[in-house]
Amino acid sequence: MILLWLWRRWRRRRDAAAEEEAETPAEFRPTPARKGPTAAARGPVALVLHQAYYDLRGFLRNKQARFFTLALPLLFLVVFVSVFGSDKIGPTNVAARTYYVPGISALAVIAASFVNLVITITVLREEGILKRRRATPVPAWTLIAGRTLMAIAVSLISMIVLMLVGRFAYGVKLPTRTIPGIALTAVVGSISFCALAYAFSTAIENEDAAQPMVQAIMLPLYFISGVFIPAVNLPNWLKHVAQVFPVEHLSDGLHHAFAPTTTGAGIIWSDIGVLALWGAIGLGFALWRFSWLPKAATG
Partner 1 sequence: MEPVVSVHGLRKRYGQFEAVAGIDLEIERGEIFAFLGPNGAGKTTTVEILEGFRTRTEGVVSVLGVDPAKGDPAWRNRVGAVLQESNAEPGLTVRESLQLYSGYYNEPRDIDETIALVGLQEKADTIGTNLSGGQRRRLDVALALIGDPELIFLDEPTTGFDPSARRTAWHVIDGLRELGKTVFLTTHYMEEAEQLADRIAVIAGGKIVAEGTPGTLGGRNRMAATIRFTLPEGTGADDLPPELRALLAGEDGRVTLTTQTPLAHLHVLTDWAIARGIDLPDIDVRRPTLEDVYLELTEAPA
36 binds partner 1 (CB under 8 A): no
Interaction of residue 136 with partner 1, rule CB under 8 A: yes
Minimum distance, C-beta of residue 213 to partner 1, in the bound complex (Å): 20
Q: Is 22 in the site for partner 1 (CB under 8 A)?
A: yes
Task: Kindly report the backbone phi and psi dihedral angles of residue 50, in degrees, each rounded to the nearest multiple of 5, phi listed first.
Answer: -55, -50
Q: d(Cα 12, Cα 16) in Å, to the nearest integer?
A: 6
Stretch that binds partner 1, among 88-96, 118-126, 188-196, 213-221 (CB under 8 A): 118-126
Q: Binding segment for partner 1 among 73-81, 86-94, 133-141, 214-222 (CB under 8 A)? A: 133-141
Confirm or reject binding of residue 41 to partner 1 (CB under 8 A). yes
The answer to whether residue 131 forms part of the interface with partner 1 (CB under 8 A) is: yes
CB of 90 to partner 1, least distance (A): 38
The residues, ordered by sequence, that sit 6+ positions from 282 with a Cβ below 8 Å of its Cβ are: 192, 195, 196, 197, 198, 199, 200
Query: Least Å distance between CB 36 and partner 1?
Result: 12
> What span, in angstroms and rounded, lies between the C-alpha atoms of 83 and 96?
9
The binder of partner 1 chosen from 91, 128, 175, 220 (CB under 8 A): 128
Selected binder of partner 1 within 87, 127, 205, 208 (CB under 8 A): 127
Amino acid at 267: I
CB of 55 to partner 1, least distance (A): 9
Query: What is the largest distance, in Å, between two alpha-carbon atoms of the chain?
Result: 64
- Please select the residue that binds partner 1; options are 10, 54, 141, 269, rule is CB under 8 A: 54
| Closest CB 155 distance from partner 1, rounded Å | 19
137 binds partner 1 (CB under 8 A): yes
Count residues binding partner 1 (CB under 8 A): 43
Q: Which residues inside 57-86 make contact with partner 1, applying CB under 8 A?
A: 57-62
Give the residue among 83, 115, 116 at the shortest CA–CA distance from 99.
83
Q: Whose Cβ is closer to partner 1: residue 129's or residue 157's?
A: 129
Query: Residue 153 or 241: which CB sits closer to partner 1?
Result: 153
129 contributes a contact to partner 1 by CB under 8 A: yes
Q: How far is the CB of 203 from partner 1 (least distance, A)?
A: 22
| Between 130 and 242, CB nearer to partner 1 | 130
Q: Phi, psi at residue 119, to the nearest 5°?
A: -65, -45
Which residues make up the interface to partner 1 (CB under 8 A)? Answer: 22, 25-26, 28-31, 33-34, 37-41, 47, 50-51, 54, 57-62, 120, 123-124, 127-129, 131-139, 293-294, 298-299
